[in-house]
Amino acid sequence: MRFIAIISLTGLLCVTTISFGRTPGSARILRYTPFYSGVKIQSDTSKKKKIDTVGSTEGTLLKLRSDKNPVFSELNLKANSIDPQKLVTSPAVSLQQYLKGQAAGLYIQEPSGEPGTIQSMFIHGASQPLLSAREQFQTQPLIVLDGIPLIGEHPFAFDIQQYKFNRIGPATNLLTNIDMENIASVQVLTDIASIAAYGPKGVNGVIVLTSKTPSAQKQISFNSYVSVGLRPQVTTLNGRYENNFRKQFYYKYTPNGRFSDDEVYPLYLSDSLSSSYYGPSNWSDLYYRNPVSHTINAAISGGAERANFRFSLGNVRNEGIADQTALNRYSTMLNVNMKPLEWLTFSASVNANRVERDRNNSLRDRFSQMNYIPDLSSPFSPNKDIYAGFLKDLKNGYDDNKSNIVEGAAVLSINLGNFLFTSHFGMDYNEGYRDIYYSKVLLEGNSYASNYYGFNQRLMFNNTASYDLKLNEVHNFRFELGQSVHYDTYKYNYAFAYKGTNDYIKLNLLNSNPALGGDGSEPEDYLYPLSFPKSLTFKYLDKTKNNMLSFFGKTAYNFDNKYTLSFILRADASTNAQPTSRWFVSPAVSASWNIKNDLLTTNSSFNELSLRVSAGRLGRAEYYDNFAQGPQYTTELGYTGNLLSPGYNAFAVLTRPYNYGWVGYGIPWSYTDQLNVGADVAVLNNRLRMSLDFYTKTDKNQLLAIPDYAEYGYTQSYESGLSVNNKGIDLTLSGDIISNDRFKWTPSLNLNYNVNKLVALPRGLKEIAIGDRLFKVGHAIDQYWLYTNDGMYNTNEEVPVVGGVAKKFNGITLGAGDPNWRDLNNDNAIDDNDKTLRGHALPVVAGSFNNDFKYGKWTLGMQFYFNLGREVINQEMSNHFNFINQESGNTINSVKEITFWEKRGDFSKYPLYNPWSPVISYRVDQDLFLENASFLKLRTVSLGYELTDVINKKRLKLSRLYIYGTANNLFTITPYTGQDPELINYTGYDRGFGMPYATTFTLGVKMDL
């Protein structure tokens, strides 16, 4: 039996086909079609609909009972449906951690095990080169919670940062606000016809979360777990090991194994009797720990048939394995449904969270935050007692990180038989605070303080009207019209200062008791904290807004539950688009053919066989207002150490944005053209199921910063014309291999194969070099640009000589101890023309293999997670071998964390180049450090037991009592020689700063009264 449910999401009517009868009590979502609306209904062919109770335990706000077979039973749209109840047994704290490996086509990067840090998601690859956090932000999918399209942390604050490792402020992953205990369904939308209904903000794919909503029956639920992690077993090093490592270079390349007179050996390695560096290396006892995490969630629901509610409270404490990091979240959620009249329904929801982070103490993050680099000639001592002294000094200051996150929605629906009108208001608001103080004992006598406050806000208002028209038993139509408007605002206030005399004063506090002049006037420094000198106090504030107005119309036609055709046309206008191209009109068409209903109605071998296709165009949302007005002015005044100043000597100054780049007129909308073709098959009495999808999408007219206009003072010019194609296959395969009353085994596989290609560059260019990246038409955008290593020149005589001239590297004559880099163009000179594009920073194949077992009241689940075809640059190893250049300059790249004294990688696999060579022998842009980072992980093993029947025999009358245990991150199989191959961000360069994931063991209980 099948029925159609129209679900409200963001004011979108969402048509969902649900199929029953595959296994007893099971339901599988096969298709997902978003339309703008606000309630969840069942489609009906009859003109009269009987109203059922408001709400259900499965997440519906309103149900309408159908007396006949529904129309549109086969829709051409596809959604990856994820069971949230299988996710809550994992000690995850963010949406990304929950969804990793759960849906074909969804790839998640988790570059650090530190709780609450930023993680990236990509659906069907990256639409543009990932050069910075700006592009990473532009390529993230849209997250929709109960119809609210969630707003992310805008990276525009990076514009004032000299070092862009982390955004100023708490930099907390805003998707830690999702308590999976409150979620009833998770849908991952990928095809063009489904995401088109969400508009330009959904162009990168959409993840739809629907929360549990109440029923008229009173219910109380309680869920909790405690998790314990295992600290990693690491090999620690001290100065003796590092000294021996470096001496092999001195013995080979310096006279008598010593430096020349004008060079100095590092002081921390020069005295082998020093207990600070040559003594015990026991720092790991203070850095790593066995983390303990817990969660608790309680919910109550109830009411009457026409008015009911669900209210939940929860707390999560998630500890990191390293550096005393942790995240603490307090959450609450309220859902209310009311039906005052037979034809009128009102629903409202609020999700509120408070998130607090204990951040890492890494030097790199701290110095990049401060824009200040102290003397880095001596790293941390590996001695536990000395390292403890540093931690004690650090605790004399503070680093408070707090975020408040609130989402709210209100939906009003009028149902007049075949006519449905819905009005939907939604709000997403989050604010962050970060207050820092570092005492002067940590910073060469310079104390430091900073304060940050910022918020992101989205207000949305949607109106949708739909009408179902049935001409006869086989011809059915649906017509829809809708409008939506989004108002987005991002703002921050930020200040920092050096050399304060008061350790705990905030920079944004004014003098509380100013000494007035004799004439009653205010003192000159009234607006400045007296504890910090004016010249060393820096204040920044910024605000950006963008609005989007949209209209759409959709028509859907169904013929006899065999053929379905739909067409959607939208018009979107954005304030971030230039006035000459404010509007963008985009169509999408989709069709499906139910072969089973058409040709195989009497064939018992096939339980389902259907084909679907969708094609269309969708505009891409531009989140930056820099391009809306063409040439512009700014208040930028750049100087070393602090990138921006709002004025000079209290006078505002306007200049061209030379450091940012030239922005011209005539910039059009960028957009995506996408084609999806898919098939769904079920055979052997629904015991074997497969979904196969092919897609190709091309993102066109995108902006790219091209180095240019240097003669006018600009560093680059932003121009449209960038085009990137992603194509691939999504495969979902599952089966009930064994299924009887006592035992059931259901394996399932989901994977995505994706390849990308650069189709076009601005100005018709065929290739362009930006920094250490080369982008070449016809090649992938995530490749590395590297020299190819062919060994080493052991003597000067081995260096090739042509025409009496020895081979050179960028004008420098090569010699003994230098790498033998391949001369691709045979001109006896090594330069950029001899670099090649190698590897992929994003995996070619990603997915998971799951096995679910059930025996009586026992359940067992295992998830294997894998990435294939991904390579990374082991920059941590490059930095270690390149110690001469790393330590010769006092820069942010010279930072050595306490983990410098941890054995990582295989040093024996690298040749002994001359580290003093001016060619920089251990430079990172060579394939010497390119490694295969494919892996297979046993990510989760869970074991549970249903105690409901046992408890009810004691006359306690529980609806459910389920206990479970899980083990996470049990092992990783990989050829990569560095840390965990997952601990790498979108750049593909492993700098060694990612904190490891813990192997955790969890014990939990789920109870319903």
Contact between 588 and 617 (Cβ < 8 Å) = yes
What span, in angstroms and rounded, lies between the C-alpha atoms of 135 and 198? 21
Among 868, 827, 866, which Cα is nearest to 844's?
868
Sorted by where each begins, the domain ranges of the chain are 788-834
Asked if pLDDT for residue 887 goes beyond 80, the answer is yes
State the sign of the Cα–Cα–Cα–Cα dihedral 193, 197, 198, 201: positive
What are the structure tokens assigned to 822, written together? Answer: 């391949």
- Phi, psi of 279, deg, nearest 5: -85, -160
Q: How confident is the model at residue 806 (pLDDT cuts 50, 70, 90)?
A: very high
Contact between 756 and 701 (Cβ < 8 Å) = no
- What's the pLDDT score for residue 258? 62
Contact between 663 and 632 (Cβ < 8 Å) = yes
- What's the pLDDT score for residue 698? 98
Asked if pLDDT for residue 162 goes beyond 60, the answer is yes
Direct distance between the N- and C-terminal alpha carbons of the chain, in angstroms, rounded to an integer: 31
Mean pLDDT of 960-980: 95
Burial of 654 (0-12, 13-18, 19+ CB in 10 A): exposed
- Pick the more confident residue, 390 or 644: 390
What span, in angstroms and rounded, lies between the C-alpha atoms of 130 and 138? 9
**3-class state of residue 239 by DSSP:** helix
Contact between 633 and 639 (Cβ < 8 Å) = no
Ranking 519-523, 616-620, 767-771 by mean pLDDT, the lowest is 519-523
Q: How do strand 662-663 and strand 717-735 relate by DSSP bridges?
A: parallel
- At position 216, the amino acid (one-letter code) is A
What SS3 string covers 828-850?
Answer: CEECHHHCEEECCCCCCEEEEEE
Dihedral through CA 483, CA 310, CA 211, CA 64, nearest 10? -60
Among 316, 313, 287, which Cα is nearest to 384's?
287
Burial of 515 (0-12, 13-18, 19+ CB in 10 A): exposed
Ranking 289-303, 521-535, 552-566, 859-873 by mean pLDDT, the lowest is 521-535
- Phi, psi of 883, deg, nearest 5: -65, -30
Contact between 662 and 709 (Cβ < 8 Å) = yes
Give residue 340's Cα distance to chain centre. 42
- Pick the more confident residue, 781 or 30: 781
What are 858-871's pLDDT values in tens digits? 999 999 999 999 99
* 752 beta partners: 730, 846
Contact between 54 and 41 (Cβ < 8 Å) = no
Asked if pLDDT for residue 19 goes beyond 60, the answer is no
- What's the pLDDT score for residue 648? 56
- Pick the more confident residue, 292 or 261: 292
Q: How confident is the model at residue 655 (pLDDT cuts 50, 70, 90)?
A: confident
What are the structure tokens assigned to 695, written together? Answer: 């897609």
- What's the pLDDT score for residue 965? 97
Q: How many CB atoms neighbour CB 458 within 10 A?
A: 21
What span, in angstroms and rounded, lies between the C-alpha atoms of 610 and 562? 9
- At position 780, the amino acid (one-letter code) is A
What span, in angstroms and rounded, lies between the C-alpha atoms of 113 and 100? 14
- What's the pLDDT score for residue 245? 95
Give residue 519's Cα distance to chain centre. 58
- What's the pLDDT score for residue 48? 33
What are the structure tokens assigned to 79, written together? Answer: 């959604």
Q: How many CB atoms neighbour CB 529 within 10 A?
A: 22
- Residue 170 DSSP code: -
Ranking 434-443, 475-484, 797-806 by mean pLDDT, the lowest is 434-443
Counts of helices then strands in the chain (DSSP H, E): 13, 52
Burial of 340 (0-12, 13-18, 19+ CB in 10 A): exposed
What span, in angstroms and rounded, lies between the C-alpha atoms of 475 and 564? 10
Written as one string, the DSSP assignment of 428-442 is EEEEEEEEEEE-GGG
Q: How do strand 344-358 and strand 206-211 relate by DSSP bridges?
A: unpaired
Written as one string, the DSSP assignment of 303-372 is E-SSEEEEEEEEEEEEE-SBTT-EEEEEEEEEEEEEEEETTEEEEEEEEEEEEEEE----HHHHHHHHT-
Contacts of 1001 (CB under 8 A, 6+ apart): 227, 228, 229, 230, 965, 966, 967
Contact between 266 and 199 (Cβ < 8 Å) = no
Q: How confident is the model at residue 642 (pLDDT cuts 50, 70, 90)?
A: low
Mean pLDDT of 766-795: 96
Dihedral through CA 638, CA 640, CA 642, CA 648, nearest 10? -50
Among 964, 969, 970, which Cα is nearest to 1003's?
964
What are 249-285's pLDDT values in tens digits? 999 998 876 655 445 688 899 889 999 999 999 999 9
What are the structure tokens assigned to 191, written together? Answer: 């095809």
Asked if pLDDT for residue 36 goes beyond 50, the answer is no
What are the structure tokens assigned to 111, written together? Answer: 């570059």
* 574 beta partners: 548
Q: How confident is the model at residue 590 (pLDDT cuts 50, 70, 90)?
A: very high
- Phi, psi of 282, deg, nearest 5: -120, 25
State the sign of the Cα–Cα–Cα–Cα dihedral 170, 184, 695, 109: positive
- What's the pLDDT score for residue 652? 58
What span, in angstroms and rounded, lies between the C-alpha atoms of 490 and 454? 8
What span, in angstroms and rounded, lies between the C-alpha atoms of 545 and 580? 19
Asked if pLDDT for residue 28 goes beyond 50, the answer is no
Contacts of 3 (CB under 8 A, 6+ apart): 18, 42, 43, 66, 70
**3-class state of residue 711 by DSSP:** helix
Asked if pLDDT for residue 21 goes beyond 70, the answer is no
- What's the pLDDT score for residue 944? 96
Mean pLDDT of 904-922: 95
Q: How confident is the prediction for the chain on average, in pLDDT?
A: 87
Asked if pLDDT for residue 721 goes beyond 80, the answer is yes
Report the largest interatomic distance among the alpha carbons of the chain, rounded to a whole angstrom.
101
Q: Can you point out the beta strands (E) in 152-306?
A: 183-189, 206-211, 219-230, 292-303
* 745 beta partners: 738, 853
What span, in angstroms and rounded, lies between the C-alpha atoms of 976 and 983? 12
Q: How confident is the model at residue 536 (pLDDT cuts 50, 70, 90)?
A: confident
Asked if pLDDT for residue 630 goes beyond 90, the answer is no
**3-class state of residue 949 by DSSP:** helix
Torsion region of 240: left, alpha or beta (phi above 0 gives left; psi -120 to 50 gives alpha) = alpha
Contacts of 152 (CB under 8 A, 6+ apart): 137, 140, 174, 456
Element (H, E) at 278: helix 275-278
What are 823-852's pLDDT values in tens digits? 999 999 999 999 999 999 999 999 999 999
What span, in angstroms and rounded, lies between the C-alpha atoms of 238 and 277? 6
Give residue 829's Cα distance to chain centre. 42
Q: How many CB atoms neighbour CB 236 within 10 A?
A: 18
Q: How confident is the model at residue 890 (pLDDT cuts 50, 70, 90)?
A: confident
Mean pLDDT of 99-114: 96
Query: Nearest-5° angle of CA 425, CA 427, CA 428?
Result: 155
Length of the chain: 1009
- Pick the more confident residue, 536 or 733: 733
